[in-house]
Structure 1
Amino acid sequence: MADSSLQTAAEKDEGMFIKFYQDGDMDSIAQLYTENCRLMAPGTDVKLGRKAVAQLMRTVKAKGVARVDVKTEEVSLVGEYGYRMGKYSIVMEDGTIHDTGSSMMVLKKEDGVYKIHSDVFSSDDKHTSTLFRET
């Protein structure tokens, strides 16, 4: 079942994520996630909690990623949780597209606001997994 508040939250979060990333504000990106969130990126261990999300974003930015574009394709409410599925692309500082892929997020209300509780994405390119490694 689609929920207009969930759709609105998804669209708002997309814009905020992109802006925060471009501004280098990884702590604000982390605030889009629940306190005890999980982020599962290709080629790396599961990241637990907001601090880990912020650190992963810093790692990606330090590797020359200029932009992470996200686009929600579907959003729905299932009980007290919501989900959103979409696509992403990772654009390097030289303008090349390093990776594209699909994402699935489970959303949960925290303090009356839908936030990302679980974030799983998979690359369309089997060689991209090293981008998310911290070493």
Structure 2
Amino acid sequence: MADLESVLSARDREYEKRYNNHDTKGVVDMYTEDCRWMQPDKDTQIGRKAVEEFLKYVMKAGANSLILEMDENGPLGDNLVYQRSRYTFLKTDGSLFGKGKLVVIWKKVDGVYHLYTKIFNPCPA
């Protein structure tokens, strides 16, 4: 069995691929049905709808591509693991759209890790 960092890195690469192909549904499908979405200045939202709305918003606003960089990960229990990372959104011309930090809790569903909780905050450019 692959080590946790390799598994989560592969999931990150899949997330980037789907985002960078503007596959909103594909990205949303990487979340659990009962996911917790915790974006700045909003109450915690439960379910995939908030994820979909945010993705459509940032894509329309000009965040053309996404880069994820993992800093730390570890187990939380039988089917849960955490990941602390950084994200960078780029415009079509490759210039910076925005960057920030995030913490994710992944939940194993049918043998595959899905995003269960995401907390993120932007950082100054």
Judge conservation of contact 1:26–1:55 (CA < 8 Å) in 2. no
Q: Structure 2: how far apart are the matches of 1:91 and 1:26? A: 17
Q: Which residue is equivalent to 1:93?
A: 92
- The aligned amino acid for 2:89 is I
Work out the CA distance in 2 between the residues paired with 1:47 and 1:53: 9
Partner of 1:117: 116
**Count of residues paired in the alignment:** 123
Distance 2:93 2:41 in 1: 23
Higher relative contact order (CA 8 A, sep 6+): 1
Q: Which residue of 2 aligns with 1:78?
A: 76
SS at match of 1:65: coil
Distance in 1 separating the partners of 2:7 and 2:52: 20
TM-score by length of 2: 0.87
Moved more, 46-55 or 25-34: 46-55
Quote the offset at 1:65 in angstroms: 0.8
Identity %, equivalent residues? 27
Contact 2:90 2:96 in 1 (8 A): yes
Residue pair 2:70, 2:83 contacting (<8 A) in 1 also? yes
Q: Does structure 1 retain, via aligned residues, the 8 Å contact 2:82–2:105?
A: yes
- Offset at 1:45? 4.2
Structure 1, unpaired ranges of 5+:
129-135
Q: How far apart are the structure 2 equivalents of 1:82 and 1:20? A: 22
**Equivalent residue of 1:70, what SS?**
strand
Equivalent position SS for 1:79: coil
